[in-house]
């Protein structure tokens, strides 16, 4: 495992090749390492996770991290952060939060592991940001997307406490 040090925190090497090679039972596309990734058809149709990630990002993350993962004066550009973070590192930071302190500033990412509006959609967020990080998807709401699968709906309902 290669580690990259950023701001005093070590991260495993970035996510690598984002090419989708298989789809799991929930309709999620995976890369050759088994990590969630995006799939965008030639006609611009995005997979459900990319579409859902766009929606979730803009409801829960853009206030601090700026529209479309572009960053703000308050928080970093997640479309760039995802380039150097592994999937596991991303999940850890979102779930547990992070604090970066320097002589110039103090940045605090709150923990969202107990917030079902974020925790239940971490893969969706990761997939959307991964598509943004490689410029596979631009600064626009996906107008065409795959349908949400029944398995995704069941997993979502279970995570959100809806039975």
- Reported as a single tens digit per residue, the pLDDT across 45-55 is 999 999 999 99
Q: Cα angle vertex 107, ends 102, 113, to 5°?
A: 135
Residue 89: partners with Cβ closer than 8 Å, 6 or more residues away: 11, 12
pLDDT at position 102 is 67
- CB burial of 28-40 (b: ≥16 within 10 Å; e: otherwise) equals bbebeeebbbbbb
Least confident segment among 39-53, 59-73, 75-89, 97-111: 97-111
Q: Which residues pair with 111 in a beta bridge?
A: none
The pTM (predicted TM-score) of the whole model is 0.84
Mean pLDDT of 110-129: 92
Task: Sketch out the chain's domains with CATH numbers.
Answer: 3-159 (1.10.760.10)
Which token pair is 144? Answer: 């065409």
């Amino acid at each position: 495992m290669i580690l990259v040090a950023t701001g005093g925190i070590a991260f495993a090497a970035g996510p690598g090749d984002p090419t989708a090679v298989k789809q799991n039972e929930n309709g999620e596309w995976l890369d050759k390492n088994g990590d969630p990734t995006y799939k965008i058809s030639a006609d611009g149709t995005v997979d459900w996770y990319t579409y859902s990630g766009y929606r979730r990002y803009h409801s829960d993350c853009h206030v601090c991290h700026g529209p479309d993962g572009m960053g703000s004066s308050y928080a970093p550009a997640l479309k760039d952060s995802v380039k150097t973070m592994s999937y596991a590192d991303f999940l850890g930071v979102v779930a547990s939060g992070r604090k970066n302190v320097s002589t110039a500033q103090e940045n605090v990412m709150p923990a969202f592991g107990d917030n079902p509006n974020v925790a239940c959609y971490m893969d969706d967020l990761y997939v959307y940001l991964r598509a943004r990080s490689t410029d596979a998807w631009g600064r626009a709401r996906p107008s065409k997307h795959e349908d949400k699968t029944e398995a995704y709906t069941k997993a979502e309902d279970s995570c959100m406490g809806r039975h």
